Structure 1
Amino acid sequence: MTQIIASLAEVSDRYKALFVDLWGCVHNGVTAYPEAVAALQAYRAKGGIVVLVTNSPKPRAGVAEQLGNFGVPADAYDTIATSGDSARSAMFQGSVGEKVYFMGEPARDEGFFQPLEILDNPVNIQRVPLAEAEGIVCCGPFDPMAEVEINRPDFLFAKQKGMKLLCANPDIVVDRGEIREWCAGALAKLYTDMGGESLYFGKPHPPIYDLARRRLAALGVSVSDSEILAIGDGPHTDIAGGMGENIDSLFITGGLAEKETKTAHQPDAEALAAYLAAEQVTPQYAIGKLR
Protein backbone atom coordinates (compact mmCIF):
# COMPACT_ATOMS: atom_id res chain seq x y z
CA MET A 1 0.00 0.00 0.00
CA THR A 2 1.45 3.35 -1.04
CA GLN A 3 1.56 5.88 1.79
CA ILE A 4 0.65 9.48 0.95
CA ILE A 5 3.03 11.76 2.84
CA ALA A 6 2.95 15.49 3.50
CA SER A 7 6.65 16.25 3.05
CA LEU A 8 9.98 14.61 2.27
CA ALA A 9 11.10 15.24 5.85
CA GLU A 10 8.39 12.85 7.03
CA VAL A 11 10.40 9.85 5.75
CA SER A 12 13.84 11.16 4.76
CA ASP A 13 15.53 10.23 8.04
CA ARG A 14 15.21 6.59 6.97
CA TYR A 15 17.58 7.14 4.03
CA LYS A 16 21.22 8.19 3.63
CA ALA A 17 20.89 9.13 -0.02
CA LEU A 18 18.28 10.23 -2.55
CA PHE A 19 18.22 9.46 -6.28
CA VAL A 20 16.18 12.44 -7.49
CA ASP A 21 14.59 12.95 -10.89
CA LEU A 22 14.71 16.49 -12.27
CA TRP A 23 12.04 17.30 -14.83
CA GLY A 24 8.64 17.45 -13.12
CA CYS A 25 10.19 17.15 -9.67
CA VAL A 26 12.86 19.83 -9.19
CA HIS A 27 12.01 22.00 -12.21
CA ASN A 28 9.48 22.19 -15.04
CA GLY A 29 11.92 22.65 -17.89
CA VAL A 30 11.76 26.42 -17.46
CA THR A 31 12.26 27.26 -13.79
CA ALA A 32 12.96 25.59 -10.45
CA TYR A 33 10.29 24.57 -7.94
CA PRO A 34 11.21 26.54 -4.79
CA GLU A 35 9.65 24.00 -2.39
CA ALA A 36 11.57 21.14 -3.99
CA VAL A 37 14.84 23.04 -3.79
CA ALA A 38 14.20 23.87 -0.13
CA ALA A 39 13.41 20.22 0.67
CA LEU A 40 16.67 19.01 -0.87
CA GLN A 41 18.68 21.74 0.85
CA ALA A 42 17.15 20.78 4.20
CA TYR A 43 17.89 17.09 3.60
CA ARG A 44 21.53 17.85 2.78
CA ALA A 45 21.83 20.12 5.82
CA LYS A 46 21.06 17.07 7.97
CA GLY A 47 23.81 15.04 6.31
CA GLY A 48 21.85 13.39 3.50
CA ILE A 49 23.33 12.96 0.02
CA VAL A 50 21.43 14.00 -3.11
CA VAL A 51 22.26 12.35 -6.43
CA LEU A 52 20.33 13.87 -9.30
CA VAL A 53 19.48 10.96 -11.63
CA THR A 54 18.14 12.24 -14.90
CA ASN A 55 17.24 10.86 -18.31
CA SER A 56 18.68 13.97 -19.91
CA PRO A 57 20.92 13.16 -22.89
CA LYS A 58 23.29 15.91 -21.75
CA PRO A 59 26.62 15.21 -20.01
CA ARG A 60 26.46 16.08 -16.33
CA ALA A 61 28.33 19.36 -16.84
CA GLY A 62 25.62 20.43 -19.28
CA VAL A 63 22.89 19.50 -16.81
CA ALA A 64 24.61 21.44 -14.03
CA GLU A 65 24.75 24.49 -16.28
CA GLN A 66 21.09 24.09 -17.19
CA LEU A 67 20.13 23.79 -13.52
CA GLY A 68 21.87 27.06 -12.77
CA ASN A 69 19.90 28.73 -15.55
CA PHE A 70 16.67 27.35 -14.08
CA GLY A 71 17.49 28.68 -10.61
CA VAL A 72 18.46 25.40 -8.93
CA PRO A 73 21.37 26.27 -6.61
CA ALA A 74 24.43 24.02 -6.33
CA ASP A 75 23.80 23.42 -2.62
CA ALA A 76 20.60 21.48 -3.45
CA TYR A 77 22.56 18.44 -4.66
CA ASP A 78 25.89 16.63 -4.39
CA THR A 79 26.38 15.04 -7.80
CA ILE A 80 24.62 14.16 -11.06
CA ALA A 81 24.17 10.96 -13.08
CA THR A 82 22.74 11.37 -16.57
CA SER A 83 21.39 8.97 -19.13
CA GLY A 84 23.52 10.87 -21.61
CA ASP A 85 26.75 9.95 -19.82
CA SER A 86 25.76 6.26 -19.69
CA ALA A 87 24.85 6.30 -23.37
CA ARG A 88 27.98 8.24 -24.39
CA SER A 89 30.17 5.64 -22.73
CA ALA A 90 28.46 2.89 -24.71
CA MET A 91 28.67 4.87 -27.95
CA PHE A 92 32.41 5.49 -27.59
CA GLN A 93 32.84 1.77 -26.96
CA GLY A 94 31.28 1.08 -30.36
CA SER A 95 27.85 -0.18 -29.35
CA VAL A 96 26.26 1.12 -32.59
CA GLY A 97 29.37 1.32 -34.78
CA GLU A 98 31.71 4.12 -35.79
CA LYS A 99 29.54 5.78 -38.44
CA VAL A 100 26.33 6.98 -36.82
CA TYR A 101 23.19 8.81 -37.89
CA PHE A 102 22.39 11.44 -35.29
CA MET A 103 18.84 12.33 -34.26
CA GLY A 104 18.34 15.36 -32.01
CA GLU A 105 18.79 19.11 -31.87
CA PRO A 106 22.44 19.92 -32.76
CA ALA A 107 22.59 23.12 -30.71
CA ARG A 108 21.22 21.34 -27.63
CA ASP A 109 22.89 17.94 -27.96
CA GLU A 110 26.35 18.80 -29.28
CA GLY A 111 27.87 17.95 -25.90
CA PHE A 112 26.86 14.33 -26.38
CA PHE A 113 29.75 13.89 -28.81
CA GLN A 114 32.42 15.45 -26.61
CA PRO A 115 35.26 12.93 -26.04
CA LEU A 116 35.15 10.71 -22.96
CA GLU A 117 38.62 10.81 -21.47
CA ILE A 118 37.88 8.00 -19.00
CA LEU A 119 37.92 5.41 -21.81
CA ASP A 120 40.99 3.78 -23.28
CA ASN A 121 41.02 3.66 -27.10
CA PRO A 122 37.53 5.11 -27.68
CA VAL A 123 35.90 4.55 -31.06
CA ASN A 124 36.30 7.38 -33.56
CA ILE A 125 32.65 8.37 -33.93
CA GLN A 126 31.67 9.92 -37.27
CA ARG A 127 28.26 11.49 -37.90
CA VAL A 128 27.02 10.58 -41.37
CA PRO A 129 23.75 10.54 -43.36
CA LEU A 130 21.42 7.62 -42.66
CA ALA A 131 22.31 5.89 -45.92
CA GLU A 132 25.97 5.67 -44.81
CA ALA A 133 25.36 4.82 -41.15
CA GLU A 134 26.10 1.67 -39.17
CA GLY A 135 23.77 2.69 -36.35
CA ILE A 136 21.59 5.47 -34.94
CA VAL A 137 22.30 7.76 -31.98
CA CYS A 138 19.04 9.28 -30.77
CA CYS A 139 19.07 12.15 -28.27
CA GLY A 140 15.54 13.19 -29.23
CA PRO A 141 13.32 14.07 -32.18
CA PHE A 142 14.33 16.75 -34.65
CA ASP A 143 11.02 18.46 -33.80
CA PRO A 144 9.69 17.57 -30.33
CA MET A 145 6.19 18.71 -31.30
CA ALA A 146 5.93 16.61 -34.49
CA GLU A 147 4.21 13.23 -34.48
CA VAL A 148 6.64 10.37 -33.93
CA GLU A 149 5.22 8.45 -36.91
CA ILE A 150 7.01 10.76 -39.36
CA ASN A 151 10.16 8.76 -38.58
CA ARG A 152 8.68 5.47 -39.78
CA PRO A 153 10.21 5.56 -43.33
CA ASP A 154 13.73 6.19 -42.01
CA PHE A 155 13.28 3.56 -39.32
CA LEU A 156 12.09 1.00 -41.87
CA PHE A 157 15.30 1.58 -43.86
CA ALA A 158 17.43 1.35 -40.70
CA LYS A 159 15.72 -1.84 -39.54
CA GLN A 160 16.26 -3.48 -42.92
CA LYS A 161 19.95 -2.60 -42.67
CA GLY A 162 20.13 -4.14 -39.19
CA MET A 163 21.04 -0.91 -37.44
CA LYS A 164 20.83 -0.58 -33.66
CA LEU A 165 19.35 2.59 -32.16
CA LEU A 166 21.11 4.00 -29.11
CA CYS A 167 18.52 5.84 -27.02
CA ALA A 168 20.08 8.57 -24.88
CA ASN A 169 16.81 9.43 -23.09
CA PRO A 170 14.18 6.70 -22.44
CA ASP A 171 11.49 9.25 -21.48
CA ILE A 172 8.47 9.12 -23.80
CA VAL A 173 7.23 12.65 -23.09
CA VAL A 174 8.16 15.59 -20.91
CA ASP A 175 6.30 18.76 -19.92
CA ARG A 176 8.23 21.94 -20.68
CA GLY A 177 6.21 24.43 -18.69
CA GLU A 178 2.67 23.83 -19.96
CA ILE A 179 3.75 22.21 -23.24
CA ARG A 180 4.13 18.43 -23.62
CA GLU A 181 6.96 17.31 -25.90
CA TRP A 182 8.10 14.00 -27.35
CA CYS A 183 11.43 12.60 -26.15
CA ALA A 184 13.92 10.08 -27.53
CA GLY A 185 12.14 7.22 -25.75
CA ALA A 186 9.12 7.67 -28.02
CA LEU A 187 11.31 7.22 -31.10
CA ALA A 188 13.06 4.20 -29.61
CA LYS A 189 9.70 2.63 -28.77
CA LEU A 190 8.52 3.10 -32.36
CA TYR A 191 11.73 1.55 -33.67
CA THR A 192 11.38 -1.40 -31.31
CA ASP A 193 7.70 -1.85 -32.18
CA MET A 194 8.74 -1.96 -35.84
CA GLY A 195 11.14 -4.81 -35.09
CA GLY A 196 14.33 -2.80 -34.72
CA GLU A 197 16.75 -3.09 -31.78
CA SER A 198 16.93 -0.18 -29.33
CA LEU A 199 19.59 0.15 -26.63
CA TYR A 200 18.58 1.98 -23.45
CA PHE A 201 20.80 3.53 -20.79
CA GLY A 202 18.55 5.76 -18.67
CA LYS A 203 15.81 4.98 -16.15
CA PRO A 204 14.41 2.36 -15.65
CA HIS A 205 17.36 0.44 -17.11
CA PRO A 206 20.34 -0.72 -15.01
CA PRO A 207 23.21 1.31 -16.59
CA ILE A 208 22.14 4.65 -15.14
CA TYR A 209 21.70 3.16 -11.66
CA ASP A 210 25.17 1.66 -11.88
CA LEU A 211 26.45 5.13 -12.81
CA ALA A 212 24.51 6.74 -9.93
CA ARG A 213 26.05 4.28 -7.48
CA ARG A 214 29.53 5.05 -8.86
CA ARG A 215 28.87 8.77 -8.47
CA LEU A 216 27.79 8.07 -4.89
CA ALA A 217 30.89 5.98 -4.17
CA ALA A 218 33.09 8.72 -5.64
CA LEU A 219 31.89 10.98 -2.82
CA GLY A 220 33.62 8.62 -0.39
CA VAL A 221 30.52 7.21 1.27
CA SER A 222 29.15 3.69 1.55
CA VAL A 223 25.38 3.46 1.09
CA SER A 224 23.39 0.25 0.73
CA ASP A 225 20.38 0.02 -1.58
CA SER A 226 18.06 -0.14 1.43
CA GLU A 227 19.34 3.32 2.42
CA ILE A 228 18.46 4.95 -0.93
CA LEU A 229 15.15 6.58 -1.84
CA ALA A 230 14.34 7.17 -5.51
CA ILE A 231 12.12 10.18 -6.22
CA GLY A 232 10.34 10.93 -9.48
CA ASP A 233 7.14 11.50 -11.41
CA GLY A 234 7.57 8.81 -14.07
CA PRO A 235 5.82 5.51 -13.25
CA HIS A 236 7.68 3.59 -15.94
CA THR A 237 11.05 5.29 -15.40
CA ASP A 238 11.58 6.50 -11.83
CA ILE A 239 9.24 4.11 -10.02
CA ALA A 240 9.72 1.04 -12.20
CA GLY A 241 13.47 1.67 -12.07
CA GLY A 242 13.44 1.82 -8.29
CA MET A 243 11.46 -1.40 -8.14
CA GLY A 244 13.90 -3.11 -10.48
CA GLU A 245 16.84 -2.03 -8.34
CA ASN A 246 15.13 -2.90 -5.01
CA ILE A 247 15.21 0.76 -4.03
CA ASP A 248 12.31 2.43 -2.20
CA SER A 249 10.57 5.17 -4.15
CA LEU A 250 8.55 8.34 -3.67
CA PHE A 251 6.11 9.05 -6.50
CA ILE A 252 5.54 12.73 -7.35
CA THR A 253 1.92 12.66 -8.48
CA GLY A 254 1.72 16.31 -9.56
CA GLY A 255 3.97 15.78 -12.58
CA LEU A 256 3.14 13.60 -15.57
CA ALA A 257 0.20 11.96 -13.75
CA GLU A 258 -1.34 15.11 -12.30
CA LYS A 259 -4.71 14.66 -14.05
CA GLU A 260 -4.95 10.91 -13.56
CA THR A 261 -4.23 11.15 -9.83
CA LYS A 262 -6.45 14.22 -9.40
CA THR A 263 -3.59 16.05 -7.73
CA ALA A 264 -4.23 19.51 -6.42
CA HIS A 265 -2.04 19.97 -3.34
CA GLN A 266 -2.09 16.21 -2.80
CA PRO A 267 -3.35 13.25 -4.86
CA ASP A 268 -6.82 11.84 -4.42
CA ALA A 269 -6.29 8.53 -2.61
CA GLU A 270 -8.74 6.53 -4.72
CA ALA A 271 -7.52 8.01 -7.99
CA LEU A 272 -3.93 7.33 -6.99
CA ALA A 273 -4.67 3.71 -6.11
CA ALA A 274 -6.47 3.16 -9.41
CA TYR A 275 -3.65 4.78 -11.38
CA LEU A 276 -0.90 2.76 -9.71
CA ALA A 277 -2.84 -0.47 -10.23
CA ALA A 278 -3.31 0.32 -13.91
CA GLU A 279 0.38 1.18 -14.34
CA GLN A 280 1.42 -1.86 -12.27
CA VAL A 281 3.85 0.02 -10.04
CA THR A 282 4.02 0.14 -6.25
CA PRO A 283 5.99 3.06 -4.81
CA GLN A 284 6.39 3.11 -1.06
CA TYR A 285 5.28 6.75 -0.85
CA ALA A 286 3.45 9.41 -2.85
CA ILE A 287 3.21 13.19 -2.59
CA GLY A 288 1.68 15.90 -4.76
CA LYS A 289 4.91 17.87 -5.22
CA LEU A 290 8.39 17.45 -3.79
CA ARG A 291 8.48 19.63 -0.70
Structure 2
Amino acid sequence: MTRIIDSFADISGQYDVAFVDLWGCMHNGIAAFPEAVAAMQGFRAKGGKVVLVTNSPRPWDSVARQIHDMGVPEDAWDAIATSGDSARAAMFRGAVGAKVWFMGESPRDDDFFKPLKIIGNPVDIQKVPLDQAEGIVCCGPFDPLADVDVNRSQFLYAKQKGLKLLCANPDIVVDRGEVREWCAGALAQLYTEMGGESLYFGKPHPPIYDLARRRLSALTDVPSDPRIIAIGDGIGTDVSGGLQEDLDVLFITGGLAAEETKTNGQPDPAALDGFLTRHEISVPYAIGYLR
Protein backbone atom coordinates (compact mmCIF):
# COMPACT_ATOMS: atom_id res chain seq x y z
CA MET A 1 0.00 0.00 0.00
CA THR A 2 1.38 3.39 -0.98
CA ARG A 3 1.96 5.77 1.90
CA ILE A 4 1.03 9.38 1.14
CA ILE A 5 3.51 11.57 3.02
CA ASP A 6 3.26 15.24 3.98
CA SER A 7 6.88 16.16 3.23
CA PHE A 8 10.12 14.54 2.11
CA ALA A 9 11.48 15.15 5.60
CA ASP A 10 9.05 12.48 6.86
CA ILE A 11 11.20 9.77 5.23
CA SER A 12 14.47 11.45 4.23
CA GLY A 13 16.32 10.12 7.29
CA GLN A 14 16.10 6.63 5.79
CA TYR A 15 18.24 7.62 2.78
CA ASP A 16 21.73 8.85 1.99
CA VAL A 17 21.05 9.88 -1.61
CA ALA A 18 18.13 11.18 -3.64
CA PHE A 19 17.99 10.72 -7.43
CA VAL A 20 15.66 13.61 -8.24
CA ASP A 21 13.86 14.38 -11.48
CA LEU A 22 13.84 18.02 -12.56
CA TRP A 23 10.88 18.89 -14.79
CA GLY A 24 7.65 18.46 -12.82
CA CYS A 25 9.48 18.04 -9.52
CA MET A 26 11.98 20.89 -9.12
CA HIS A 27 10.53 23.23 -11.78
CA ASN A 28 7.72 23.52 -14.33
CA GLY A 29 9.87 24.41 -17.31
CA ILE A 30 9.61 28.11 -16.48
CA ALA A 31 10.30 28.61 -12.77
CA ALA A 32 11.51 26.61 -9.78
CA PHE A 33 9.18 25.24 -7.14
CA PRO A 34 10.39 26.97 -3.94
CA GLU A 35 9.20 24.20 -1.62
CA ALA A 36 11.03 21.57 -3.66
CA VAL A 37 14.22 23.64 -3.56
CA ALA A 38 13.88 24.01 0.22
CA ALA A 39 13.33 20.26 0.61
CA MET A 40 16.56 19.44 -1.20
CA GLN A 41 18.49 22.12 0.67
CA GLY A 42 17.21 20.65 3.93
CA PHE A 43 18.17 17.12 2.91
CA ARG A 44 21.68 18.25 2.00
CA ALA A 45 22.03 20.21 5.23
CA LYS A 46 21.60 16.92 7.11
CA GLY A 47 24.26 15.18 5.02
CA GLY A 48 22.19 13.83 2.15
CA LYS A 49 23.40 13.90 -1.45
CA VAL A 50 21.16 15.08 -4.30
CA VAL A 51 21.81 13.86 -7.82
CA LEU A 52 19.53 15.48 -10.36
CA VAL A 53 18.68 12.74 -12.87
CA THR A 54 17.01 14.28 -15.88
CA ASN A 55 15.93 13.26 -19.36
CA SER A 56 17.08 16.61 -20.67
CA PRO A 57 18.97 16.15 -23.96
CA ARG A 58 21.45 18.84 -22.88
CA PRO A 59 24.92 18.42 -21.30
CA TRP A 60 24.90 18.67 -17.52
CA ASP A 61 26.60 22.08 -17.37
CA SER A 62 24.01 23.52 -19.75
CA VAL A 63 21.25 22.15 -17.50
CA ALA A 64 22.97 23.67 -14.45
CA ARG A 65 22.87 27.12 -16.07
CA GLN A 66 19.29 26.63 -17.19
CA ILE A 67 17.94 25.64 -13.77
CA HIS A 68 19.94 28.39 -12.05
CA ASP A 69 18.13 30.90 -14.23
CA MET A 70 14.83 29.28 -13.23
CA GLY A 71 15.63 29.63 -9.54
CA VAL A 72 17.17 26.28 -8.58
CA PRO A 73 20.38 27.30 -6.75
CA GLU A 74 23.57 25.26 -6.58
CA ASP A 75 23.10 24.50 -2.89
CA ALA A 76 20.03 22.39 -3.76
CA TRP A 77 22.03 19.67 -5.57
CA ASP A 78 25.40 17.92 -5.68
CA ALA A 79 25.59 16.47 -9.19
CA ILE A 80 23.60 16.23 -12.41
CA ALA A 81 23.20 13.25 -14.74
CA THR A 82 21.46 13.96 -18.03
CA SER A 83 20.07 11.74 -20.74
CA GLY A 84 21.89 14.07 -23.11
CA ASP A 85 25.31 13.25 -21.68
CA SER A 86 24.60 9.52 -21.82
CA ALA A 87 23.33 9.75 -25.41
CA ARG A 88 26.19 12.03 -26.48
CA ALA A 89 28.73 9.46 -25.30
CA ALA A 90 27.02 6.84 -27.45
CA MET A 91 26.88 9.18 -30.44
CA PHE A 92 30.58 10.02 -30.28
CA ARG A 93 31.32 6.29 -30.09
CA GLY A 94 29.50 5.87 -33.40
CA ALA A 95 26.20 4.34 -32.27
CA VAL A 96 24.34 5.80 -35.28
CA GLY A 97 27.23 6.50 -37.64
CA ALA A 98 29.18 9.64 -38.44
CA LYS A 99 26.70 11.38 -40.73
CA VAL A 100 23.50 12.12 -38.82
CA TRP A 101 20.16 13.74 -39.51
CA PHE A 102 19.45 15.95 -36.53
CA MET A 103 15.96 16.45 -35.08
CA GLY A 104 15.64 19.20 -32.50
CA GLU A 105 15.37 22.92 -31.95
CA SER A 106 18.33 25.07 -32.95
CA PRO A 107 20.10 26.81 -31.36
CA ARG A 108 18.64 25.45 -28.11
CA ASP A 109 19.81 21.87 -28.70
CA ASP A 110 23.14 22.67 -30.38
CA ASP A 111 25.10 21.92 -27.19
CA PHE A 112 24.39 18.24 -27.81
CA PHE A 113 27.19 18.24 -30.39
CA LYS A 114 29.82 19.83 -28.14
CA PRO A 115 32.96 17.63 -27.91
CA LEU A 116 33.12 15.11 -25.06
CA LYS A 117 36.59 14.98 -23.52
CA ILE A 118 35.95 11.62 -21.87
CA ILE A 119 35.66 9.85 -25.24
CA GLY A 120 38.96 8.79 -26.75
CA ASN A 121 39.16 8.97 -30.55
CA PRO A 122 35.57 10.24 -30.95
CA VAL A 123 33.73 9.82 -34.23
CA ASP A 124 33.72 13.00 -36.31
CA ILE A 125 29.99 13.72 -36.30
CA GLN A 126 28.54 15.62 -39.25
CA LYS A 127 24.97 16.91 -39.48
CA VAL A 128 23.60 16.16 -42.95
CA PRO A 129 20.23 16.04 -44.76
CA LEU A 130 18.18 12.88 -44.25
CA ASP A 131 18.99 11.45 -47.68
CA GLN A 132 22.71 11.51 -46.83
CA ALA A 133 22.40 10.26 -43.23
CA GLU A 134 23.72 7.06 -41.65
CA GLY A 135 21.56 7.56 -38.59
CA ILE A 136 19.23 9.94 -36.73
CA VAL A 137 19.99 11.98 -33.62
CA CYS A 138 16.75 13.10 -31.98
CA CYS A 139 16.76 15.68 -29.18
CA GLY A 140 13.10 16.51 -29.76
CA PRO A 141 10.58 17.65 -32.37
CA PHE A 142 11.27 20.56 -34.68
CA ASP A 143 8.00 21.97 -33.29
CA PRO A 144 7.10 20.63 -29.81
CA LEU A 145 3.46 21.67 -30.26
CA ALA A 146 2.93 19.90 -33.59
CA ASP A 147 1.50 16.37 -33.76
CA VAL A 148 4.33 13.83 -34.05
CA ASP A 149 2.63 12.29 -37.08
CA VAL A 150 4.01 15.15 -39.21
CA ASN A 151 7.28 13.15 -39.21
CA ARG A 152 5.73 9.93 -40.54
CA SER A 153 6.86 10.27 -44.17
CA GLN A 154 10.45 11.06 -43.16
CA PHE A 155 10.47 8.15 -40.73
CA LEU A 156 9.18 5.80 -43.41
CA TYR A 157 12.11 6.78 -45.63
CA ALA A 158 14.56 6.40 -42.71
CA LYS A 159 13.18 2.99 -41.79
CA GLN A 160 13.51 1.79 -45.38
CA LYS A 161 17.16 2.89 -45.30
CA GLY A 162 17.64 0.97 -42.04
CA LEU A 163 18.66 4.04 -40.02
CA LYS A 164 18.85 3.82 -36.23
CA LEU A 165 17.37 6.67 -34.18
CA LEU A 166 19.31 7.82 -31.12
CA CYS A 167 16.78 9.23 -28.65
CA ALA A 168 18.34 11.82 -26.35
CA ASN A 169 15.20 12.24 -24.21
CA PRO A 170 12.80 9.31 -23.64
CA ASP A 171 10.10 11.57 -22.16
CA ILE A 172 6.89 11.51 -24.20
CA VAL A 173 5.51 14.85 -23.01
CA VAL A 174 6.31 17.65 -20.55
CA ASP A 175 4.25 20.54 -19.24
CA ARG A 176 5.93 23.89 -19.77
CA GLY A 177 3.86 25.91 -17.34
CA GLU A 178 0.30 25.18 -18.49
CA VAL A 179 1.28 24.05 -22.01
CA ARG A 180 1.91 20.37 -22.82
CA GLU A 181 4.73 19.73 -25.30
CA TRP A 182 5.93 16.67 -27.17
CA CYS A 183 9.42 15.32 -26.45
CA ALA A 184 11.92 13.13 -28.29
CA GLY A 185 10.46 10.01 -26.69
CA ALA A 186 7.23 10.49 -28.63
CA LEU A 187 9.17 10.55 -31.90
CA ALA A 188 11.21 7.48 -30.95
CA GLN A 189 8.00 5.69 -29.99
CA LEU A 190 6.46 6.49 -33.39
CA TYR A 191 9.61 5.35 -35.20
CA THR A 192 9.63 2.06 -33.30
CA GLU A 193 5.92 1.51 -33.98
CA MET A 194 6.68 1.99 -37.69
CA GLY A 195 9.32 -0.74 -37.53
CA GLY A 196 12.42 1.42 -37.06
CA GLU A 197 15.06 0.89 -34.36
CA SER A 198 15.31 3.44 -31.54
CA LEU A 199 18.16 3.61 -29.02
CA TYR A 200 17.38 5.02 -25.56
CA PHE A 201 19.75 6.41 -22.93
CA GLY A 202 17.54 8.25 -20.43
CA LYS A 203 15.03 7.09 -17.83
CA PRO A 204 13.75 4.40 -17.47
CA HIS A 205 16.72 2.77 -19.24
CA PRO A 206 19.92 1.64 -17.43
CA PRO A 207 22.54 3.95 -19.04
CA ILE A 208 21.42 7.09 -17.23
CA TYR A 209 21.38 5.33 -13.86
CA ASP A 210 24.92 4.07 -14.52
CA LEU A 211 25.90 7.68 -15.23
CA ALA A 212 24.11 8.90 -12.09
CA ARG A 213 26.02 6.40 -9.96
CA ARG A 214 29.32 7.47 -11.54
CA ARG A 215 28.52 11.09 -10.79
CA LEU A 216 27.61 10.09 -7.23
CA SER A 217 30.83 8.11 -6.73
CA ALA A 218 32.85 11.18 -7.72
CA LEU A 219 31.46 13.08 -4.70
CA THR A 220 33.03 13.06 -1.26
CA ASP A 221 31.58 11.56 1.92
CA VAL A 222 29.36 9.05 0.12
CA PRO A 223 28.78 5.72 1.94
CA SER A 224 30.11 2.61 0.20
CA ASP A 225 26.59 1.19 -0.11
CA PRO A 226 24.35 4.27 -0.10
CA ARG A 227 20.62 4.09 0.49
CA ILE A 228 19.09 5.74 -2.57
CA ILE A 229 15.55 6.93 -3.24
CA ALA A 230 14.29 7.94 -6.69
CA ILE A 231 11.93 10.92 -6.86
CA GLY A 232 9.89 11.78 -9.93
CA ASP A 233 6.52 12.44 -11.55
CA GLY A 234 6.77 10.32 -14.72
CA ILE A 235 5.18 6.92 -14.21
CA GLY A 236 6.84 5.42 -17.29
CA THR A 237 10.23 7.06 -16.77
CA ASP A 238 11.09 8.19 -13.22
CA VAL A 239 8.94 5.66 -11.38
CA SER A 240 9.45 2.66 -13.67
CA GLY A 241 13.16 3.37 -13.95
CA GLY A 242 13.64 3.67 -10.21
CA LEU A 243 11.80 0.42 -9.57
CA GLN A 244 13.81 -1.39 -12.26
CA GLU A 245 16.95 -0.23 -10.44
CA ASP A 246 15.57 -1.72 -7.19
CA LEU A 247 15.28 1.71 -5.60
CA ASP A 248 12.56 3.00 -3.33
CA VAL A 249 10.44 5.58 -5.15
CA LEU A 250 8.66 8.74 -4.10
CA PHE A 251 6.01 9.42 -6.73
CA ILE A 252 5.22 13.12 -7.27
CA THR A 253 1.56 12.98 -8.28
CA GLY A 254 1.04 16.69 -9.00
CA GLY A 255 3.13 16.64 -12.18
CA LEU A 256 2.18 14.70 -15.31
CA ALA A 257 -0.39 12.59 -13.45
CA ALA A 258 -2.12 15.43 -11.58
CA GLU A 259 -5.45 14.93 -13.33
CA GLU A 260 -5.48 11.14 -13.11
CA THR A 261 -4.56 11.15 -9.41
CA LYS A 262 -6.94 14.04 -8.64
CA THR A 263 -4.11 15.90 -6.95
CA ASN A 264 -5.24 19.00 -5.14
CA GLY A 265 -2.40 19.61 -2.75
CA GLN A 266 -2.29 15.86 -2.19
CA PRO A 267 -3.50 12.97 -4.36
CA ASP A 268 -6.90 11.42 -3.80
CA PRO A 269 -6.08 8.00 -2.28
CA ALA A 270 -8.62 6.09 -4.37
CA ALA A 271 -7.58 7.83 -7.58
CA LEU A 272 -3.92 7.20 -6.81
CA ASP A 273 -4.56 3.53 -6.14
CA GLY A 274 -6.54 3.19 -9.36
CA PHE A 275 -3.83 4.95 -11.38
CA LEU A 276 -1.07 2.72 -10.03
CA THR A 277 -3.20 -0.40 -10.54
CA ARG A 278 -3.83 0.49 -14.19
CA HIS A 279 -0.10 0.85 -14.69
CA GLU A 280 0.58 -2.35 -12.73
CA ILE A 281 3.00 -0.49 -10.49
CA SER A 282 3.42 -0.33 -6.73
CA VAL A 283 5.41 2.43 -5.01
CA PRO A 284 6.17 2.86 -1.32
CA TYR A 285 5.58 6.63 -1.18
CA ALA A 286 3.62 9.39 -2.89
CA ILE A 287 3.17 13.12 -2.36
CA GLY A 288 1.32 15.79 -4.30
CA TYR A 289 4.33 18.08 -4.73
CA LEU A 290 7.94 17.77 -3.65
CA ARG A 291 8.34 19.69 -0.43
Partner of 2:283, secondary structure, is: coil
Question: Do the aligned residues in 2 keep the contact of 1:16 with 1:223 (CA within 8 Å)?
Answer: no
Deviation, 1:224, is 3.0
Residue 25 of structure 1 aligns to which amino acid in structure 2? C
Match of 1:166 in 2: 166
Gaps of 5+ in 1: none
TM-score, normalised via structure 1 length: 0.99
Q: How does 1:122-271 map onto structure 2 within 5 Å?
A: 122-220=122-220, 221-224=222-225, 227-271=227-271
Deviation, 1:17, is 0.2
Match of 2:70 in 1: 70
Deviation, 1:280, is 1.7
Partner of 1:106, secondary structure, is: coil
Question: Residues 148, 223 of structure 1: CA spacing in aligned structure 2 closer, same or farther, 3 A cutoff?
Answer: farther
Match of 1:115 in 2: 115
Residue 117 of structure 1 aligns to which amino acid in structure 2? K
CA distance in 2: counterparts of 1:105 and 1:283, whole angstroms: 35
Deviation, 1:241, is 0.2
Question: Once superposed, what is the RMSD of the aligned Cα atoms?
Answer: 0.7
Deviation, 1:222, is 3.5
Match of 1:33 in 2: 33
Question: Residues 223, 22 of structure 1: CA spacing in aligned structure 2 closer, same or farther, 3 A cutoff?
Answer: farther
Deviation string 1:174-203 (CA, Å, 9 cap, x unpaired) is: 000000000000000000000000000000
CA distance in 1: counterparts of 2:119 and 2:125, whole angstroms: 14
Partner of 2:18, secondary structure, is: strand
Q: How does 1:9-48 map onto structure 2 within 5 Å?
A: 9-48=9-48
Match of 2:282 in 1: 282
Match of 1:81 in 2: 81
Match of 2:59 in 1: 59
Report the number of matched residues: 290
Residue 286 of structure 2 aligns to which amino acid in structure 1? A
Q: Which 4+ stretches in 1 moved above 6 angstroms?
A: none
CA distance in 2: counterparts of 1:243 and 1:223, whole angstroms: 21
Gaps of 5+ in 2: none
Partner of 2:108, secondary structure, is: helix
Partner of 2:107, secondary structure, is: helix
Residue 121 of structure 2 aligns to which amino acid in structure 1? N
Deviation string 1:120-152 (CA, Å, 9 cap, x unpaired) is: 100000000000000000000000000000100
Deviation, 1:243, is 0.9
Deviation, 1:94, is 0.1
Deviation string 1:239-277 (CA, Å, 9 cap, x unpaired) is: 100111001100000000001000001000000000001
Instruction: Please say which of residues 84-93 and 273-282 is displaced more in the overlay.
Output: 273-282
Question: Do the aligned residues in 2 keep the contact of 1:57 with 1:139 (CA within 8 Å)?
Answer: yes
Deviation, 1:281, is 1.7
Identity of aligned pairs, percent?
68
Deviation, 1:223, is 4.8
